[in-house]
Structure formats: C-alpha cells, structure tokens
Amino acid sequence: MLYESLRIPTKRKVFISYHHKNDQGWFNEFSRRFSDVHEVFCDKSLDNCIRSDDPEYVSRRIREDYIVGSSVTIVLCGAETWKRKYVDWEIYSTLHHQHALLGLGLPTAGKNERGEIIVPDRLVANVNSGYAHWIHWTNDPSILKQAIETAITRSVQTRFVDNSFQKMARNLA
C-alpha cells in the first residue's frame, strides 16, 4: 500500500526588529496575531534590550542569541525606525549571517516628500538589490506567510547582500 505523505506547512522562526519605544504596541499586535493566533511563525525576538553602546558586543549577542537559528528577520518600520542604531545593528547581524530579511511598513511610518516610506538605509539598499523583500502592513496571514517565503527564497542570492554601510554609532535625532 502506498501512502502519500502529508505536506505540513513550515512554521518559520522569526526575529522581529523594531523601535521599542514607539512601536511596542504594533509589535505586540503583530506577534499576537501572527505568532499566537494564526501560528504563521515562532517569535524569536529579544525579550529584553541588550544594554551596551558597544556595537560589536550588541551585534554578537543579537547574532548568537537571537538571529542564529531564525529563518528570517522582519523589520517593523514605523515613524522613527530608520533612526534607531539597534535596528541597524540587527539588520547588520542578519545580513552578516545571510539570513532572510523582510521589511514591513507600519501604518505609522514616516514618509518623504515623494510619499515613500522612510526606512533604514541598510534595509532599503537590500530591498533595492533584490536580496530583501518589502511589504506594507497586512492583517492577512496568507499574505505574511507568502512574504516570509519570498524573503527566504531571495536570501539564497547572497551576492546581492549589501552590508557596506558603517554601523550607526548613535541614534539619529
């Protein structure tokens, strides 16, 4: 007797990067909705901030304790995300390990004079190179799941990684 194997969808391990002060509510809702309710992913985000101004130490801790073992980093982009050094360091560490990278525009995201969402330079460079993927806020689990898979598919093209920016030494005003 021949049995067909059942295809069980993969529940990806996700690290979420965001501006803790401004976007904690969005993170809570995102994690609750997509990790807890719809089980699109398993959240591997930081439980507590790593308190240090040493970018090498913070990058190593993020890389070793949170990003290693995850499938993708999702960057929640709100009004001031692009100004945050820790977000930059988390993107740097993700790219250092050539993990998948997905930018997600929050409804609160700031826009430039052309109406484009302002995002961290390191993220936009990798979206433009084709390495990272970008979507706007969604409440639809199937859209998020597809975006995660697209980001993972793109991440095999490691020649497109652009991690050439200097790490931010401090938050921008």
Q: With respect to residue 3, please indicate whether it lies within any of the assigned structural domains.
A: no
CA dist list (Å): 55 to 83, 98, 111, 167: 15, 19, 28, 8
pLDDT bin (cut points 50, 70, 90) of residue 49 is low
Domain that holds residue 91: 15-160
Which stretch of 39-48, 83-92, 140-149 has the lowest confidence by average pLDDT? Answer: 39-48
Q: Which of 106, 41, 35 is nearest to 75 (CA)?
A: 106
Is residue 70 a contact partner of residue 15, using CB atoms and an 8 Å limit? yes
Q: With respect to residue 10, please indicate whether it lies within any of the assigned structural domains.
A: no
Residue 135's SS3 state is strand
Q: With respect to residue 126, please indicate whether it lies within any of the assigned structural domains.
A: yes
Question: pLDDT tens digits for 75-130?
Answer: 999 999 999 998 999 999 999 999 999 999 999 999 999 999 999 999 999 999 99
Angle ∠(116,102,121) on CA atoms, nearest 5? 50
Is residue 53 a contact partner of residue 64, using CB atoms and an 8 Å limit? no
The label of the residue with tokens 């639809």 reads 140
Is residue 118 a contact partner of residue 110, using CB atoms and an 8 Å limit? yes
DSSP string over 9-77: PP-EEEEEE--HHHHHHHHHHHHIIIIIIS--EEE---SS----S-HHHHHHHHIIIIITT-SEEEEEE
pLDDT at 47 exceeding the cut of 80 = no
Q: With respect to residue 173, please indicate whether it lies within any of the assigned structural domains.
A: no
pLDDT bin (cut points 50, 70, 90) of residue 1 is very low
Joined tokens for residue 81 = 């995300």
- Note the pLDDT of residue 139: 95
In the predicted model, what is the mean pLDDT of the chain?
Answer: 89
pLDDT at 66 exceeding the cut of 50 = yes
pLDDT: which is higher, 149 or 49: 149
pLDDT at 7 exceeding the cut of 60 = no
Q: With respect to residue 172, please indicate whether it lies within any of the assigned structural domains.
A: no
Q: With respect to residue 89, please indicate whether it lies within any of the assigned structural domains.
A: yes
Assign residue 48 the CATH number of its domain.
3.40.50
Kindly report the pTM of this predicted structure. Answer: 0.89
Q: With respect to residue 29, please indicate whether it lies within any of the assigned structural domains.
A: yes
Share of the chain above pLDDT 90, in %: 71
- Note the pLDDT of residue 46: 65
pLDDT at 50 exceeding the cut of 80 = no
Q: With respect to residue 141, please indicate whether it lies within any of the assigned structural domains.
A: yes
Q: Which of 84, 160, 77, 161 is nearest to 112 (CA)?
A: 77
pLDDT at 42 exceeding the cut of 60 = yes
Q: How far apart are CA 119 and CA 42, in angstroms?
A: 25
3-state SS of the chain: helix, strand, coil percent to 5?
40, 15, 45
The structural domain count of the chain equals 1
Non-local (6+) Cβ contacts of 79 within 8 A are 22, 108, 109, 110
